[in-house]
Amino acid sequence: MRYINTPNFDHKQSDKIGILLTNLGTPDAPTPKALKRYLKQFLSDPRVVEIPRVLWWLILNGIILRIRPRRSAKAYATVFTEQGSPLLFHTQAQTDAIRTQLQQDGVENLVVDFAMRYGNPSFDSVLDNMFKQGVRKLLVLPLYPQYCASTSGSSFDELAKNFIQRRWLPDLRFISHYPDYAPFITAAADKIRQYWQQHGQADKLILSYHGIPKRYLLNGDPYHCECYKTSRLIAEQLGLNKDQYMTTFQSRFGREEWLKPYTDETLKSLPAQGVKSVQIFCPGFAADCLETIEEIGEENKEYFLHAGGERYDYISALNAEPQHINALCQLIKDNLQHWQTNNSTERAQLASLLQREKQETT
Ligand SMILES: C=CC1=C(C)c2cc3[nH]c(cc4nc(cc5[nH]c(cc1n2)c(C)c5CCC(=O)O)C(CCC(=O)O)=C4C)c(C)c3C=C
Ligand SMILES: [Fe+2]
Ligand SMILES: [Fe+2]
């Protein structure tokens, strides 16, 4: 059979709207074996590592997958909890909260779920389940505020890979980015302001984003510009001038030049410039994960204090906090407007069809 068919086509079934939240994904366990499986899938994605395939296959299988799984497993062991990987449980909590809020807001006929680009739950398993429940309109929201081909672009690839196997495709809306979406910016600024109210304000606010190779920017990826835009808008809401905040890029991988300034080098150099206290927030991470908890919360703290810094605070990600959930629900509802009107018209037509059939048989 060439295509996945849709069994039991039913004229009287009303269409459902699917909301699919996606994130990067995480290993199933903090073990070298699970890390090898996860890193192999992640780093084999040509959207992530843009190097000629044969050369990269040799480097990945010959060097990286022999060394990195063990090293990364140790780092992951420090962030895994009884609930599992933070990225997974925060994404699950976000999904549950969004489902509840959309239902409370009266959005009907919804199926809300999440999938991970690498690891589990996979796009294929979640999409299969959604289509089996009658989803005919699909809204996909990758939880990356700033567009990057390596993340948002790759999520689209995975979606398309599933779609090319299917006979009946749904209506599709893909939110490729939301770097300047006002409710998101306000949620981030309020989170920082609340932190200041409880703990006071540091000399500098560092807004740190996951890095990418500089080459991707030079080849036209808008990610760098979108990160600066998010930072500028957050700083404006907080009333910060240019000396009071900074945008930096973290999580460098490999030897190539990545987006600068690097978060770690910045933190090592700030104390000598008279900046003795910093607060760090990561506006590109919708959920806390290895890269925020361990790299920003622990590793970079060491660098800063070791270089003469006196106070270092990591302000956690927005996770499933109410203001973040409100912002994401607002974004979803803005994008659902046409479908919702359509959907209620369809349901009204269906109800009158069923009513007519009932009258004819009695
Ligand atoms: C070439 C390598 C990488 C690119 C490009 C890259 C881009 C990128 N990544 C995120 C978000 C996350 N990355 C995470 C982990 C992670 N990232 C890379 C490499 C690249 N990322 C690796 C090898 C790893 C695994 C950890 C390790 O071994 O160091 C995570 C955390 C996942 C978790 O399980 O907690 C996130 C989130 C973005 C947003 C991005 C480009 C914009
Ligand atoms: Fe990454
Ligand atoms: Fe890292």
Q: Which of 76, 290, 296 to mutate to test the pocket of ligand 1 (most atoms within 8 A of CB)?
A: 290
The answer on pLDDT for 5 being more than 90 is: no
pLDDT more than 70, % of the chain: 97
Amino acid at the residue 317? A
The pLDDT tens digits of the residues spanning 193-208 come to 999 999 999 999 999 9
Q: What is the mean pLDDT of residues 236-259?
A: 98
Predicted TM-score (pTM) of the model is 0.94
Phi, psi of 145 (to 5 degrees): -60, -35
Q: Is the CB of 80 under 6 A from ligand 1?
A: no
Q: Which of 39, 72, 150, 219 to mutate to test the pocket of ligand 1 (most atoms within 8 A of CB)?
A: 150
Strand partners, 246: 206
CA terminus-to-terminus distance, the chain: 43
C-alpha span between 30 and 84 (Å, rounded) = 9
Proximal ligand: closest to the CA of 210: 1
Q: Which of 68, 210, 263 to mutate to test the pocket of ligand 1 (most atoms within 8 A of CB)?
A: 210
Q: What is the mean pLDDT of residues 55-62?
A: 98
C-alpha span between 30 and 170 (Å, rounded) = 37
C-alpha span between 321 and 288 (Å, rounded) = 12
In sequence order, what are the residues at sequence separation of 6 or more whose Cβ sits closer than 8 angstroms to the Cβ of residue 245?
Answer: 204, 205, 206, 207, 231, 235, 238
Q: Are 285 and 210 in contact (CB under 8 A)?
A: yes
Looking at every residue in the chain, the average pLDDT score rounds to 95
Q: What is the mean pLDDT of residues 32-45?
A: 98
Q: What is the mean pLDDT of residues 287-301?
A: 98
The C-alpha R_g of the chain, in whole angstroms, comes to 23
Domains of the chain: 16-26+85-177+322-348 (3.40.50.1400), 182-314 (3.40.50.1400)
Q: Is the dihedral of CA 270, 283, 185, 280 positive or negative?
A: negative
Q: Are 177 and 226 in contact (CB under 8 A)?
A: yes
Q: What is the mean pLDDT of residues 98-120?
A: 96
For residue 361, the surrounding DSSP H or E stretch is helix 322-361
pLDDT more than 90, % of the chain: 88
The pLDDT tens digits of the residues spanning 303-354 come to 999 999 999 999 999 999 999 999 999 999 999 988 876 666 666 777 777 7
Ligand 1 closest atom vs CA 71: 28
What is the CA(133)–ligand 1 centre distance, in A? 32
What is the CA(135)–ligand 1 centre distance, in A? 31
The answer on pLDDT for 166 being more than 70 is: yes
Collapse the DSSP code of 169 into the 3-class scheme (helix H, G, I; strand E, B; otherwise coil) and give the result.
coil
Proximal ligand: closest to the CA of 145: 1
Reported confidence tier of residue 294, pLDDT bands at 50, 70, 90 = very high
Q: What is the mean pLDDT of residues 103-114?
A: 94
C-alpha span between 270 and 301 (Å, rounded) = 12
The answer on pLDDT for 8 being more than 70 is: no
Give the per-residue pLDDT at 344.
65
In sequence order, what are the residues at sequence separation of 6 or more whose Cβ sits closer than 8 angstroms to the Cβ of residue 258?
Answer: 211, 212, 213, 214, 249, 252
Residue 146 in tokens:
């700033």
Collapse the DSSP code of 219 into the 3-class scheme (helix H, G, I; strand E, B; otherwise coil) and give the result.
coil
For residue 83, the surrounding DSSP H or E stretch is none
Strand partners, 106: none
Q: What is the mean pLDDT of residues 205-213?
A: 99
C-alpha span between 144 and 151 (Å, rounded) = 7
Q: Is the CB of 148 under 6 A from ligand 1?
A: yes
* Three-point CA angle 108, 112, 114, nearest 5°: 170
Q: How many CA atoms lie within 13 A of 185 on its CB side?
A: 20
Ligand 1 closest atom vs CA 79: 35
The answer on pLDDT for 215 being more than 90 is: yes
Nearest CA to ligand 1 atom 34: 26
Q: Are 231 and 245 in contact (CB under 8 A)?
A: yes
C-alpha span between 292 and 125 (Å, rounded) = 28
Q: Is the dihedral of CA 64, 72, 251, 217 positive or negative?
A: positive
